[in-house]
Amino acid sequence: MVERTSKFLLIVAVSVCFMLILYQYVGPGLSLGSPSGRSYSEELDLFPTPDPHYVKKYYFPVRELERELAFDMKGEDVIVFLHIQKTGGTTFGRHLVQNVRLEVPCDCRPGQKKCTCYRPNRRETWLFSRFSTGWSCGLHADWTELTNCVPGVLDRRESANAKTPR
């Protein structure tokens, strides 16, 4: 008798939990009415009025966000990839050298973290990143360090490539 009662209580407890879960996840999608008396679409608007304490720190105009830049890989253009910690920069930097479809793909050798990314016509790099040039400007260089360092590093690399016979 005790076993039957405990099984019955277990079944009731499980079905009550199931109904609570069902109400929590399925109920808001149905028009069952809300406890506050407002419609579901009104509750979706989390911030109906602007927060007076929020100050816009950065303003990017739409025309700046939608501008298009022409990148000439066969010319003199160079992409400088600024690696920022904890933002997925390592994954994106690796994607730039390994997965992007190019006329001349980057040469990534197994066991090495650096890849050589040359332009289609000559032995000059078009990408300045941790995965193509290494830590040439120091570990986790910021914008100002890269701005001061990149032209000199590229000049040194190009002059070293010019000295080697082809």
Q: What are the residue boundaries of the structural domains of the chain, listed by start?
A: 77-163
Question: To which residue do tokens 């650096």 refer?
Answer: 114
DSSP classification of residue 129 = S
pLDDT tens figures, 113-162: 788 888 888 888 888 888 877 778 877 778 888 888 888 888 887 777 66
Spatial separation of the C-alpha atoms in residues 2 and 148, rounded to whole Å:
81
DSSP codes of every residue in 26-40: HGGGTTS--TTSS-H
Q: How far is CA 127 from CA 59, 112, 135, 158, in A?
A: 28, 17, 13, 13
The answer to whether 140 is a known catalytic residue is yes
- Global pTM value: 0.53
- Catalytic residue selected from 53, 83, 95, 140: 140
